C-alpha cells in the first residue's frame, strides 16, 4: 500500500474512532513497520488506540472498535491490527516496557486530542 492510500485509510479510521469515542479518545498512532517505513506487501497496519477510559470501559468498547477496523480493512483490502489501551496504563508502562518505548520512538500520530 502506498503512502497516499495509507493516509486515506488512516484518516478514515481516525474519523470513525473519534466519532465513536469523542473526547474519550486521546490518540491514534500508527506504529510498527508502516510507521518505520520498512513494511512489505504482507505487512499489517499496526494502530494504537489510546483512550481516556478505564480498562473495563475499553473492554466494553473493543467489539465496536473491532467492527470499525474490520469494515475499513475489508473496504481497503488491508489487515488493520488494533492495540487498545487506556492512557494511564500506557504511561505507567512506557518507561519499563520496550514495546511502548518503540511506539513512542517510531510511532506516527494520526489523531491527537
Express each pLDDT in 88-97 by its tens digit.
Answer: 999 999 999 9
Cite the DSSP H helix spans in the chain: 3-21, 33-36, 55-76, 87-94, 98-106
Closest C-alpha among 88, 76, 77, 85 to residue 107? 85
What residue has cell string 477510559?
Answer: 53
Task: Provide the pLDDT for residue 1.
Answer: 85
**Rounded distance, CA 16 to CA 18, Å?**
5
Q: The pTM is what? A: 0.94
Domains of the chain, residue spans: 3-112
Task: Provide the pLDDT for residue 41.
Answer: 86
CATH 3.40.50.620 is right for the domain spanning 3-112: no
**Rounded distance, CA 98 to CA 31, Å?**
13
Express each pLDDT in 4-40 by its tens digit.
Answer: 999 999 999 999 999 999 999 999 999 999 999 999 9
Amino acid at each position: 500500500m502506498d503512502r497516499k492510500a495509507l493516509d486515506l485509510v488512516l484518516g478514515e479510521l481516525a474519523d470513525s474512532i473519534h466519532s465513536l469515542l469523542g473526547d474519550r479518545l486521546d490518540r491514534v498512532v500508527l506504529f510498527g513497520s508502516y510507521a518505520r517505513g520498512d513494511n512489505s506487501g504482507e505487512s499489517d497496519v499496526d494502530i494504537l488506540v489510546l483512550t481516556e477510559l478505564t480498562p473495563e470501559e475499553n473492554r466494553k468498547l473493543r467489539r465496536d472498535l473491532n467492527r470499525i477496523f474490520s469494515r475499513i480493512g475489508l473496504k481497503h483490502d488491508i489487515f488493520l491490527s488494533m492495540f487498545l489501551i487506556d492512557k494511564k496504563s500506557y504511561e505507567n508502562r512506557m518507561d519499563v516496557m520496550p514495546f511502548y518505548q518503540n511506539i513512542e520512538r517510531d510511532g506516527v500520530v494520526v489523531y491527537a486530542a
